[in-house]
Chain A
Amino acid sequence: MPKDPAAKIIRNEEWGDYHLFRIESAAVTPGSQPGQFLMVRVNDSIYPLLRRPLSIHARERTILEIFFKVTGQGTALLAQRKEGQELDILGPLGKGFAWDAGLKGQAVLLVGGGRGIAPLYFLAQELRASGVRVKVLYGGRSLPDLALRQKFEKSGLDVACSTDDGTHGFRGVVTELLQEEIKKNIPAALYACGPDPMMKKTAEIAGRKKIPAQFSLESMMGCGFGACWGCVKRIRKGDAGAWRKICEDGPVFSAEEIVWEEEN
């Protein structure tokens, strides 16, 4: 049953606008994969009405973690939830990142921007367990946006950071850091999550170097499980492209599948 109305918040860790929840849920945790997400009900009221989609940040026995930034009224209310309280969650939902046994022993790059780093920790752990050599590029506007920097470092992952203002690591956007990185080594695969412009640029770089790349897309969602058709993006599946559901067909898509829309 992919629903747990009484998952338990066992930790609410805070770095300014960023929060990490540890959630105990024996019902939802098993079988969850990197790139999959939860639909979280932030409170019991009809305000906000909808659940919030949040990707799974880590999994440990019956414990899940989510990592999010306060970006609106829904996440602001969620951030106020206390340790020990119950949380109503659906999941694990969607199709996550994919990799095959052939990647063992090879080097891959994970590129995360801001709160888009969330699913990449889980992915890094699982890739490493599969014998893949993982390097994480973690970008933010400024040092406070790199809330999970130490967590990645402590877990022994190879992490390089960038900040737009140069307060930590490489000065510039994370895709510039990526360009520097691939001058040294061409990875066997690229996995990215972050703001659309960042992912679009990452896709261009991957395309030029013919690096297989996967992207976890974000969208507001009505339901999270394919019923409302609200979260579509133009996706090619061996066709010219159609509005496909991010929640059900994704949220992870390969570079060739995504039709990046022009901002205007």
Chain B
Amino acid sequence: MVDLTTDLGFMKLQNPVLAASGTFGYGLEYEPFLDLNALGGIVVKGLYFGPREGNPPPRLAETAGGLINAIGLQGVGVEKFAGEILPQLRKFWTAILVNVCGSNDEEYIKVIEYLDRQEGIVAYELNISCPNVEQNGVCPALDSDRTFSLVQLAKQSSRRPVVVKLSPNVTDIAEIAQAAEEAGADGLSLINTILAMAVDIETRRPKLANVFGGLSGPAIKPIALRMVYQVASAVDIPVIGMGGIGSGADALEFLIAGARAVEVGTANFIDPTAMVKIVREVEDFCRRNDLRKISEIIGTLKLWPSKKGG
């Protein structure tokens, strides 16, 4: 028996595999396919205070090993979530995190204050990195000062732990990560999608009505892994890694690189039972390698001799 329990300090999970926000709806969409109780956690789709209309279609473009989306955070808002969805999610023992959005500081705080009055949420994932809301993919996570002030404000307002979701669309992600840590973030999750585009050569139109979107899927995994390694090496708070994870081996790469847990996103679309498979594959790997606890593998990357102490 392998002990998969994962302790991030501010939250304990039964296993290190969580569903990534924006790819798992509000969780219940997956109930026909799998037992939600088998998951380490669910980060539900980003919530603004009110319902949000989202971007016009087309919202999706498929690329080699990847998916570009520009959904624009269409969603039901906190009231409907708390009134209709959260009561159903509370029946599961899986950790529920809510991805918190805002079009300005005040809205982030309003969302947090509203959700703070609801039971059944373990932590917030502060979404400061959605590329599909403002022009040209602009978001708070592109700037360390903006990240610092927003995270500080969120922490002051929240009674719950705050995980900050970072953008890969920056020059130095470790610098943004450190700003979030200094501002009091309890943990970091990365990466959000990579700003991208695709063109239909017949019509010469961008494949997305929004022109730009966020790239996810297997295509982004190496970039995500590099960034998770950089961030995990630069901060002391727990890092949750994501980006193109579709197998146990993918998840293990992130754990070895320093992530304490992982989120699975696009893979859920292709196989709605993907997370159950990933947990099983991680467990099998541990058993084969005589690891009694999943925690034994976290951050165990062995550098080549030429890189040691360098």
- Which residues of A approach B to under 8 Å, CB–CB? 1-3, 41, 46-51, 90, 219-223, 225-233, 242-243
- Which residues of B approach A to under 8 Å, CB–CB? 22-25, 29-30, 32-33, 53-54, 56-60, 62, 64-67, 69, 71, 74, 217-218, 246, 266, 268-270, 272-273
Report yes or no: A243 in contact with B54, Cβ–Cβ below 8 A: yes
Nearest A residue to B32, CB-CB: A2
Report yes or no: A46 in contact with B29, Cβ–Cβ below 8 A: no
Report yes or no: B25 in contact with A227, Cβ–Cβ below 8 A: yes
* Neighbouring A residues of B66 by C-beta, 8 Å: 49
Q: Shortest Cβ distance from A238 into chain B, in angstroms?
A: 16
| 21 chain-A/chain-B pairs, Cβ below 8 angstroms | A2-B33, A3-B33, A46-B217, A47-B64, A49-B217, A49-B266, A50-B269, A51-B269, A90-B33, A220-B62, A223-B268, A223-B269, A223-B272, A225-B30, A227-B23, A227-B29, A228-B269, A230-B69, A230-B71, A243-B53, A243-B57
Q: Shortest Cβ distance from B57 into chain A, in angstroms?
A: 5
Report yes or no: B71 in contact with A228, Cβ–Cβ below 8 A: yes
Q: Bound state CA distance, A154 and B65, in angstroms?
A: 43
Which 10 pairs between the two chains have the least Cβ-Cβ distance? A227-B25, A230-B60, A223-B269, A227-B29, A46-B65, A226-B29, A46-B218, A230-B59, A229-B71, A222-B269
* Neighbouring B residues of A220 by C-beta, 8 Å: 58, 60, 62
Report yes or no: B71 in contact with A3, Cβ–Cβ below 8 A: no
Report yes or no: B59 in contact with A229, Cβ–Cβ below 8 A: yes
Nearest B residue to A226, CB-CB: B29
Report yes or no: A228 in contact with B23, Cβ–Cβ below 8 A: yes
Report yes or no: A222 in contact with B57, Cβ–Cβ below 8 A: no
Nearest A residue to B246, CB-CB: A46
Main secondary structure of the interface of B (DSSP, over half): loop
* Neighbouring A residues of B268 by C-beta, 8 Å: 223, 227
Q: Bound state CA distance, A41 and B274, in angstroms?
A: 14
Report yes or no: A50 in contact with B25, Cβ–Cβ below 8 A: no
Report yes or no: B269 in contact with A231, Cβ–Cβ below 8 A: no
Say whether, besides A222-B67, A229-B59, A242 and B53 are in contact (CB < 8 Å): yes
Report yes or no: B67 in contact with A49, Cβ–Cβ below 8 A: yes
Q: Bound state CA distance, A221 and B62, in angstroms?
A: 10
Q: Bound state CA distance, A220 and B61, in angstroms?
A: 9
Report yes or no: B270 in contact with A41, Cβ–Cβ below 8 A: yes
Q: Shortest Cβ distance from A232 into chain B, in angstroms?
A: 5
Interface centre among A226, A230, A231, A233 (most CB of B within 10 A): A230
Nearest A residue to B266, CB-CB: A49
Q: Bound state CA distance, A99 and B136, in angstroms?
A: 47
Task: Find B29's partner among A219, A225, A231, A242 (CB 8 Å cutoff).
Answer: A225
Q: Shortest Cβ distance from B217 into chain A, in angstroms?
A: 6
Q: Bound state CA distance, A230 and B273, in angstroms?
A: 20
Q: Bound state CA distance, A232 and B24, in angstroms?
A: 17
Report yes or no: A227 in contact with B53, Cβ–Cβ below 8 A: no
Q: Bound state CA distance, A243 and B51, in angstroms?
A: 12
Q: Shortest Cβ distance from B287 into chain A, in angstroms?
A: 24
